[in-house]
Structures are given as structure tokens and as C-alpha cells.
Amino acid sequence: MELFKEIGGNFPLDPIPDQRSNHWVEQVGSSYFFSSGRAAILAMIQLSNAAGKKVALPYFTCHSVIEPFDRAGCELLFYPVNPHLRVDEMTMIEFCSKEQPFLLLYHDYFGNVQEEIWKELWVAFQDQILFVNDQTHSFFGDNESYAHFSLMSMRKWGAISEGGMLRVPSKMSFGFDYANRLASDVRLECYVQASELKLEYLNNDQSKEKELFRKLFYQSESFFDQEQEVYPMHPTALTAWRQLLDADFRQRRKRNSLILSDAWSVEWNIWGEPIFDASSTAVPLYFPILLKVERKLFQIFLAERNVYAPIIWPKSSLISIKGDDVLYNQLICLPIDQRYGESDMNRLVCILDEFHNQLDR
Ligand SMILES: Cc1ncc(COP(=O)(O)O)c(C=O)c1O
């Protein structure tokens, strides 16, 4: 029987791991593994003694990136990012000189890297400011990272129940005071059950399982919000990560992104524009577009056709200053991950064309 096909949505574990690993690995070389990106940030705050200090974060970022700094009593500063997900070199030099933050964190959005600018800033300020590169979007690129610490959330790239990686300067070595590991097991169980349900409803297109799956998946995610300490990464999740690294996911993502990019009609630009040239991104996480129509309507239009386009990111309540909210209001991501191939991307292109045609009417 043909699988009922969705594009996008959470990755289910497939196959469900029956051989659970009990071999906890907390460190390989200068990389340390934690339960989440948040936990990696928290560990980095502890290592660098950043608690209570002035930290500079991009105005466009994820709530869970800001939250550990806020909890550590840091003074939060936000530097501007334009609607093309770029920082401006002069603005950043002035910002760093004037504000002199203790730490500055930056993203390479969707794998598209501003290498020259970060190199310049690194050369100019590396002795005064602690640079942190959040590589969640760019981990699989081959660019240089100009930072004292780099870190990432590992769950975004595949069926990985949890994970956060922190790379420390190679001469450093640390022992972390890890919290109780029980939450990891409970979360994995939740994720396994959610995956079983998802695979079942994908087979049968049954909405009852879909609702239950959503609940369980949400529950497995909600553990991260409750964690206030540094947890290690569950060994089964680390095994899944290593299996991912062996798989052909890089080429598939790249290919899917290029299919959308090649098919993007200039006429479609009246309602939405791809932010990056797909050929300039090493391994893309998503295909981000900036919409010129009501985002909710576009998202619902796709969802009614079983395409789930995530919003990255909703604006955090921890951002108290006023800035340019174009990205928070108009950015949407099309899924291009390794679960999909050419026929799925062609289906997505037809749906985008249908969206375009119904706008004309
Ligand atoms: C760029 C980026 N860094 C870090 C995080 C935090 O990761 P986690 O959800 O694993 O705590 C996120 C979360 O979405 C993120 O998008």
C-alpha cells in the first residue's frame, strides 16, 4: 500500500530503535554532548562565567537561545539583522565598540554564512569579546567558525530525540555537574510512542492517531522547557546522530532545495521571495521565503494539502526592545529534508503554483 504522504512535520523514528544503547558518551575530543541546544548554551555560560554579564544576541533568534542567558541573570542586548538575514559590518563594529558586551552570539542563518564579516569582527574584538557561533543551521557547511565556542541543537536535522553539542577550545577540558538522567529516558519513551503513532497514521491517514501523536510529541518537547540544569545526551540519541552522519542526507537536502529554487517562477515573487540563492548554501536546513501575503493564510493553504511549513521563529517575549519585525512576521520555511525526493518537491511546486493561480482570481 502506498504511504499517505505529508511533507514536513516532526521526524518520526524509523525504525524504532530496539537496541537501546546504554553507553553514555559525554565528550569526544573538544565536543561535549548535552540533552539540548539550551543545555549546551547553559554549559557554555557556566564555563565562561557569563552569568550576570552583558551579552549580545541577534534581534532575530529563537526563544530557547535567549532563555538560558535570561535565567543566568545576563543583561540582554540585541543587535540588528536585516530582512535578508544579514548583519551590517559597520553597524556591528559600532555596536561592539560602544556596548562592549562580555559575549556575542551569532547564527549562520539557514546555512548561509557571512564569513568575511565575522572574520573581521573576530580579528578586531576577539581579545575583548567572547564569540559564540550557534551552528545549528550551518553545522554541515565547510566554512570557518570565528568564535571561542561553537554550539548547536542536534534535533533539527533528523530523527534525533534530543541533543546539543558544545565545542570548546581544544586546550580546555571540563567535568560537568550533570543532573539526573531519568528525564532523558522518559523523553525517549515519549518520542518512541509518538513515532509509532505517526508511522501508523501515515500508513492509514487516521486523524485519531494524528491528534494523539501531536500530543505525545508536544509532551516529549515540553521536557526541554522544564529542564533548568545541564543534562547529558541520551546514548540512543547519540547513536541516531551517528547513523544520520553516515546517511546520504546532505545531497538530498541540497538537491531538494535546488529543485524548488529552479522551479521558482519570477511571477511568484509578487507573493513571496526565496531569501537565499540555493546554490550558495552548503547543506540547507529549510528553504526560507519572505512572504508578502498573510502568512497564516499561506500556511493554512499548504497544511490543507498536507504540507507543513514551519515558522522560524515566533518572536520571544524576552525581547523587550523595538526592532524590525519583518522576519518575525513574514518568514516561513518550506521543508526540503532528506525524507523527500524529486516527486515530493514537484508536488510542492504544483501546490505553490496553485497558490499563485488562486491569488489571481
Ligand atoms: C538556532 C538555534 N539554536 C539553539 C536552539 C535551542 O535548541 P534546543 O531546542 O535543542 O534546546 C534552537 C531551538 O530551536 C535554535 O533554533
- For ligand 1, say whether the CB of 107 is within 6 Å of any of its atoms: yes
- CB burial of 304-332 (b: ≥16 within 10 Å; e: otherwise) equals eeebebeebeeebebbeeeeeeebbebbb
Which residues of the chain fall below pLDDT 70?
1-4, 15-24, 171, 173, 179-183, 205-206, 361
Q: Which of 10, 38, 137, 229 to mutate to test the pocket of ligand 1 (most atoms within 8 A of CB)?
A: 38
CATH of the domain at 330: 3.90.1150.10
Looking at the domain assignment, is residue 106 inside a domain? yes
Distance (Å) from CA 88 to ligand 1 centroid: 24
Q: Which domain holds residue 193?
A: 7-18+179-229
Looking at the domain assignment, is residue 242 inside a domain? no
The pTM assigned to this predicted structure is: 0.93
Pair 120, 209 in one domain: no
Domain stops at, among 127, 142, 167: 167
Distance (Å) from CA 64 to ligand 1 centroid: 6
Q: Which of 66, 153, 228 to mutate to test the pocket of ligand 1 (most atoms within 8 A of CB)?
A: 153
- For ligand 1, say whether the CB of 210 is within 6 Å of any of its atoms: no
Looking at the domain assignment, is residue 216 inside a domain? yes
Model pLDDT, residue 22: 64
The grid coordinates listed for 83 are 530582512
Pair 60, 129 in one domain: yes
Domain stops at, among 117, 143, 167: 167
Distance (Å) from CA 24 to ligand 1 centroid: 22
Pair 202, 304 in one domain: no
Looking at the domain assignment, is residue 50 inside a domain? yes
- For ligand 1, say whether the CB of 36 is within 6 Å of any of its atoms: yes
Which residue in 99, 31, 87 sits closest to 60, CA to CA?
87
Model pLDDT, residue 1: 41
Pair 130, 32 in one domain: yes
Domain count, the chain: 3
Q: Are 30 and 168 in contact (CB under 8 A)?
A: yes
Distance (Å) from CA 224 to ligand 1 centroid: 10
**254 pairs with which residues across the strands?**
none
Pair 350, 304 in one domain: yes
Q: Which of 41, 65, 152 to mutate to test the pocket of ligand 1 (most atoms within 8 A of CB)?
A: 65
Pair 261, 202 in one domain: no
Q: Are 192 and 200 in contact (CB under 8 A)?
A: no
Pair 253, 129 in one domain: no
Burial of 345 (0-12, 13-18, 19+ CB in 10 A): buried
The grid coordinates listed for 133 are 557561533
Looking at the domain assignment, is residue 243 inside a domain? no
Helix/strand/coil for 131: strand
Could you tell me if residue 207 is left (phi over 0), alpha (psi between -120 and 50 degrees) or otherwise beta?
Answer: alpha
Which residue in 83, 87, 74, 85 sits closest to 44, CA to CA?
74
- For ligand 1, say whether the CB of 187 is within 6 Å of any of its atoms: no
Pair 72, 124 in one domain: yes
Ligand 1, atom 8: closest residue by C-alpha: 37
CATH of the domain at 66: 3.40.640.10
Pair 146, 255 in one domain: no
Distance (Å) from CA 112 to ligand 1 centroid: 17
Do the strands 149-153 and 164-167 form a parallel or antiparallel pair, or are they unpaired? Answer: antiparallel
